Amino acid sequence: MHVMLAMLQGLVPQLRCRPDVIICPAQFGVPKDYDSLREQLLARGHERVVVAPLRRFDWLRIVPSIATTEFWTSKLEPTPTLEFYYQALDEAFETLENSDRDVALVGHSIGGWICRAYIGERGKRVSSVVTLGTPHNPPPASTAIDQTRGLLDYVNANFKLVDGATCVVGNSTTAGSLEDLLAKPLWDSAKNRSPLLESLVALPSYAVLAATLDPFRVRGDGLIPIDAALLPGCESIVIDDCHHSGFIPTALDSIVLPSTYEWYGSPDKVSVWADALV
């Protein structure tokens, strides 16, 4: 009897009903960019997985905000600035409305803090939120330009993550010093990648988001510093050799990066964080 009970207890996580999932894309991300991630989550037992149906040029709907006083004084608010993204999430929720299962959100990059605002402003109930490489924490106001023009400050002041939220960030691209940077090869034929270019992209992003003149000391996923992606009170998962994205958006189809450039949606990395959705 004791053996049988132990076996049943071990099966509990597997038998637990997995929620439906909505994937909240990164800036300029579209559903096609997340096909592989969607398929992996379906294979893990989530019966329905949808990607918020954003189009590449939907992001141009932010442009009118540039002509506002709020933009230039860094006082933008999610409504109406991000209404186009909210509408895409509304459609995703409508797709799942006939289900009796819970809904979990996966937010990639800024999709992570946008879904925080959406949950708060739309009053949506979700069972869990997992953010992947999301820059939740802005740099000190006195030391950097606010790239979100007040949006992130507003989100942090008004919308906390739901209980059970998990912040995931990669620990990959870095250069310990200028000497280390210059020693990186321009091209690694075995991995079909450019270590030098990866560091040259990461360092200025780290410098801005960590508000530091010494980005060589910063670690992150190649765009987002680790400290910027983790929120107090939330579960934290730091994944080694995990990069920010597996694709580069373009006006047409995204450029898919080599499989050796593992990101949050790579199979080995998905297995690290996917159970946080349950």
State the average pLDDT over residues 234-254. Answer: 97
- pLDDT surpasses 90 at 5: no
Domains in the chain (CATH in brackets) are: 21-27+36-170+222-277 (3.40.50)
- pLDDT surpasses 70 at 4: no
- pLDDT surpasses 90 at 271: yes
Share of the chain above pLDDT 90, in %: 80
User: 3 vs 74, which has greater pLDDT?
Assistant: 74
- pLDDT surpasses 80 at 127: yes
Indicate the range of 12-21, 25-34, 87-96 predicted with least confidence.
Answer: 12-21
How are beta strands 235-240 and 166-171 bridged, if at all? parallel
State the average pLDDT over residues 100-127. Answer: 96
Residue 46 confidence (pLDDT) = 98
- pLDDT surpasses 80 at 6: no
pLDDT digits over 36-83, tens only?
Answer: 999 999 999 999 999 999 999 999 999 999 999 999 999 999 999 999
Residue 172 confidence (pLDDT) = 93
Residue 187 confidence (pLDDT) = 94
pLDDT digits over 139-198, tens only?
Answer: 876 666 788 999 999 999 999 877 779 999 999 988 788 888 999 999 999 999 999 999
| Mean pLDDT for the chain overall | 92
Share of the chain above pLDDT 70, in %: 93
Indicate the range of 6-20, 193-207, 220-234 predicted with least confidence.
Answer: 6-20
- pLDDT surpasses 70 at 11: no
